[in-house]
Amino acid sequence: MNPIVFAIPVFMLTILLEAWLAHRRGVATYDTVDALTSLHLGVASQVVGLFVKLALLGIYTAVHDYWRLASLPANSVWVWLGALLAYDFCYYWLHRMGHEVGVLWAAHVVHHSSEYYNLSTALRQTSSGWLLGWIFYLPMALAGVPPLVFAGVAMIDLLYQYWVHTELVGRLGWLDRVFVTPSNHRVHHGQNDYCIDRNYGGILILFDRLFGTYADEREDERIVYGVRTPLRSLNPAWANLHYYADLWQATRSVRGWRARLHVWFGPPGGWTGQPLGHFDGSQFETYRPATPPGAGIYAMLQFALLVPCVSHLIAVGPLLPTPQLALYAAVIVGATLSLGALLEGRRFALRLEQARALAMGMAFALLPQWFGFDAPLALRASILTVMLVAVVWLDLNTKNIRMETT
């Protein structure tokens, strides 16, 4: 069983707890539509992972089996500890190159596109990082780290990074000097001049101190989160593709193969020849989409219904025939796209979301099985009822929503 299946309920509960605590403290760390967009991007990343992670692990396994320089036992505690340290070292360089190389930034920029910093931001993950990211971990295969150990320490490193995405935890003394903590990771997500390209570590901040990329959080300067060229979209697909589009446009605008290679493999924006300008946080305006009244609450309820489907897909995905897996993935990703359009106030989104809700409700209620799950009659009736109510609610509120989008 994929550990993410068990982690999803923990993610959802801790996000709700953090939002409640932030509200109690009067700290504006959450925005409903931004948090939902982060969750939509996390869902898309996990769905895409079902199609590529097995192949990437296969590449790692092949390199390990045929070219390893040593044979390390998978049952040794020291092998696991050494592998975790090695993985974190490789992650540091992947993460650093993700900020210093254009094509890698195109994948990583997704994670930085939120203008808020909270636990939901941790789940705002790329769907294209697999294209080149696997290369950075091949030294571990050559060193003889068994695939099982590699997969295990990769999950540990990933899950550790979840808790550091919060503004509710302050400085932690000596821990800030050794480990990645909320304080020094807040710096990493900032647009402020002193925050740019700093604090890349996954678990240990020691690598940043060793290679000169560490910056301490300043108490006299409020961190402004996000990227210098804001995304200004709630569309999960565009969030993943927009910087690739920028690279393509830049490639067409420059002459010569060297200049075109520089667009993709030089620093982000380096093709302009202009240095990164000074950031004035007092002039920054947070993105405020034209979200229709009530759409945020509606989207939250729909996402709550989507969460069990995501967990189910991750759990049974490896067992499903490819056509069924692709269809289930399309149902889930389609829901995030439809809800994102609704949250943006797109005129076509109302009818699209009505059609999606009705189709999903009827399919769950009438199909013999829901991708291998034989749902009880009461659950089928409940989901169909909820989706019918959703369709009616949207229809009754169409007039008000259209007023917001005209």
Given a cut of 80, whether residue 141 has pLDDT beyond it is: yes
The first and second tokens of residue 154, run together, are 């990769």
Residue with tokens 């210098």: 228
Evaluated on CA atoms 210, 213, 217, 220, the torsion sign reads: positive
Q: How far apart, in whole angstroms, are the C-alpha atoms of residue 232 and residue 230?
A: 6
Residue closest to 333 by CA, chosen among 310, 365, 357, 361: 310
Residue 236 included in any domain: no
Domain shared by 203 and 302, yes or no: no
- d(Cα 331, Cα 337) in Å, to the nearest integer? 10
202/306 same-domain check:
no
Residues 110-131: tens digit of each pLDDT = 999 999 999 999 999 999 999 9
Distances (CA, A) of 337 to 26, 171, 332, 391: 31, 38, 9, 17
pLDDT band, residue 263 (cuts 50/70/90): very high
pLDDT at 406: 42
Q: Which of 186, 211, 236 is the last residue of a domain?
A: 211
Helix-strand-coil split of the chain, %, nearest 5: 65, 0, 30
Query: Domain for residue 226, yes or no?
Result: no
Based on the fold, state whether residues 36 and 139 are members of the same structural domain: yes
Total structural domains in the chain? 2
Return the sign of the alpha-carbon dihedral for residues 216, 221, 223, 227.
Answer: negative
At residue 373, the 3 state secondary structure works out as strand
Sequence letter at residue 26: G
Cα–Cα distance, 134 to 120 (Å, whole number): 25
Q: What is the pLDDT of residues 203-239, one digit of tens each?
A: 999 999 999 999 999 999 999 999 999 999 999 999 9
The model's pLDDT over 345-359, given as tens digits with 9 standing for 90+, comes to 998 999 999 999 999
**Same domain assignment for residues 181 and 328:** no
Model-level pTM greater than 0.85? Answer: yes
pLDDT at 401: 57
Cα angle for residues 276, 182, 156 (degrees, 5° grid): 105
Q: Is the pLDDT of residue 400 over 90?
A: no
The enclosing H or E element of 210 equals helix 206-211
Is residue 403 pLDDT above 60, yes or no?
no
pLDDT, average across residues 235-260: 96
- Same domain? For 172 and 299 the reply is no
**CA-to-CA separations, 170 to 38, 164, 165, 222, 351, in angstroms, rounded:** 23, 10, 12, 13, 45
Q: Kindly state whether residue 256 falls inside one of the protein's structural domains.
A: no
> Do 9 and 113 sit in the same domain of this protein?
yes
- Check whether 405 has a pLDDT greater than 50: no
Query: For 287-328, how does the pLDDT look when each residue is reduced to its tens digit (9 = 90+)?
Result: 999 888 889 999 999 999 999 999 999 999 999 999 999 999
| Whole-angstrom distance, CA of residue 57 vs CA of residue 382 | 40
Would you say residue 275 lies in a domain? no
Q: Would you state the pLDDT for residue 379?
A: 97
Residue 152 has which token pair?
């295990």
The pLDDT value given to residue 402: 52
Residue burial 207-220, b: 16+ Cβ < 10 Å; e: rest? bbeeeebbbebeee
How is 225-272 classified by DSSP, letter by letter? BS-SS------HHHHHHHHHHHHHHHHHHS-SHHHHHHHHHSSTTGGG
Residue 274 located in a structural domain: no
Alpha-carbon distance 292 to 404, whole Å?
Answer: 6
Arithmetic mean of pLDDT, 4-12: 96
**3-class SS of residue 220:** coil
Element (H, E) at 39: helix 32-67
**Residue-level pLDDT at 399:** 54
395: left (phi over 0), alpha (psi -120 to 50) or beta: alpha
Q: Name the residue range of residue 156's domain.
A: 3-211
305 and 156 in one domain? no
Q: From CA 263, how far away is CA 265, in angstroms rounded?
A: 6
188 is a domain residue: yes
Neighbours of 56 (CB within 10 A): 15
Q: Which of 86-90, 166-170, 198-202, 347-351 has the lowest mean pLDDT?
A: 347-351
pLDDT score at 274: 81
Residue 219 in domain? no
Please state, for a pLDDT cut of 70, what percent of the chain lies above it: 98
Out of 152, 180, 211, pick the residue that ends a domain: 211
Tell me the Cα Rg of the chain: 22
For residue 227, being part of any structural domain is answered with: no
Q: Specify whether 48 is located in the same domain as 173.
A: yes
Residue at which a domain ends, from 211, 239, 260: 211
Q: How confident is the model over 231-249, as a mean pLDDT?
A: 97
